[in-house]
Each structure stands twice: as C-alpha cells, then as structure tokens.
Amino acid sequence: MIASIHKVTHYLSHDLLGGPRVLSFNWVINFQKGVTLFWVLGLMLFFENYSAQACIYLALHGSYGLIWIIKDLIFPDEKWQTKITFGGGLMAIVAVLGPYWVAPYLLISPVLGESHAGANLIWSTLAIFIYAMGLTFMLAADAQKYFTLKHQKGLITTGMFRLVRHPNYLGEMLIYGSFAILAWHWIPWAILIWVWLGYFSINILMKERSMSRYEEWSEYKRNSKYLIPYVF
C-alpha cells in the first residue's frame, strides 16, 4: 500500500505530463524557498502591515529560505538532485511548496479581518524558540548525514540519529510549526497536516524500508524513536 502511494506521489512530483526531465528538483525547492523572503516583504508593503508579528514572520521564514539555499550549496541532499519534468515541478509548487505561502498571507493581509493580529507576544516567543530548535535539528542532521555518507556508506546510528531515526524531518516540522503559530489560524495547520501525512510520512516509511536492509536495523529500531526522543 505504502509503495503504491509512493509510486503515485513520485510520478506526480517527478514525471507529471511526461516529457524530458530537464529541471533539477533542488532548483524548484530553492526557488520557492528563496522567493519566500520577497513574498512576505511584498505582502507587508502591499498591505502596509509592519506589525511586530509580520516583522517576526519575515525574519523567521525569510531567513529559513536563504539558509536552505546555503545548506543546499554546502551539503546538498542527494534526494533533491534528481531531474524532474516541468509538470512535476509545477505539481511540487502547487501541491506542497506553494501552500506554505498561505500562512503569511493570512497573517499580513486583512482577509481575516482587522482584529486578526496573529500570535501574541508569549506565543511569538514560543514560535521563535521552536524555530531555532527545528533549524538546529534539520541542519545538524543533514550535515551529519551528508559528511558521514560521503566517507562511509551504511546506517547512521550516532549523533543526531542516535535517539531519533528522522531528526531532519522533526526539524522541518518544528520550523513550519513555528510559522503556523505566528499566523494564528487553523488553515496553516491543515496545510501542514496535509504535507506531513501525504508527503513526509510516505517518504519516512520508504526510508525505513530502505534502512531495514542493514543487519543492525533491528537493534537500532529497538533503541531509537521515530521522531520524538523517548516518546514516539
């Protein structure tokens, strides 16, 4: 069942509409993440919203996009270096990456009414904390994976991967969770649940299936958690 779903999602994001694979997947991702800074800033200028919440959102989501591009230049993830069709790139933007821009639109524009100001100071503080933790997990895990596999192939069971098998995904979830907190509305959370269940979970399960080929997998799985240390 999982393999079938993965095959469908892989087709939609890599081969949709057919044709030559001329785009590198990381180009599409980097474009969306890099333009996010200008998208949020453009919303602030267009709607003349320079509130503290808008500025915090600009700093967090805008910096994350630039940090992602720097990460891709220094220690790229091999998974994102694959070639995809123009249809696949369009689907990735429309179904997964593009919806991430809904949160700042809800926060900055007047669409939810003038009374909607986003998260208060306490929740904004928590969002900044969660963002910093998520960014640390994501960067540290991706760096460890890149430089470890560059010199030694196999199952990584130390460092960031000692207690949690997917710390990079945990980091991503914390990062985008912080953005949803700042927006202070249920729609960004619904989008995140869609991405986490429809995309992240499938990738994680396929990754677990791939890792299970190593003989130390059973012991590693027994001594580690899925996403949250000591919990899940």
β strands within the chain, DSSP E: 23-24, 83-84
Do the beta carbons of residue 34 and residue 66 sit within 8 Å?
A: yes
pLDDT in tens, 17-26: 888 888 899 9
Neighbours of 87 (CB within 10 A): 18
pLDDT at 3 over 70: no
Is the pTM higher than 0.85? The answer reads yes
Rounded Cα distance between 193 and 176, Å, is 11
Nearest CA-CA partner of 211 in 151, 154, 162, 150: 154
pLDDT in tens, 36-81: 999 999 999 999 999 999 999 999 999 999 999 999 999 999 889 9
DSSP label at 226? Answer: S
DSSP label at 164? Answer: B
Do the beta carbons of residue 112 and residue 189 sit within 8 Å?
A: no
Q: Determine the pLDDT at residue 123.
A: 97
Rounded Cα distance between 119 and 122, Å, is 8
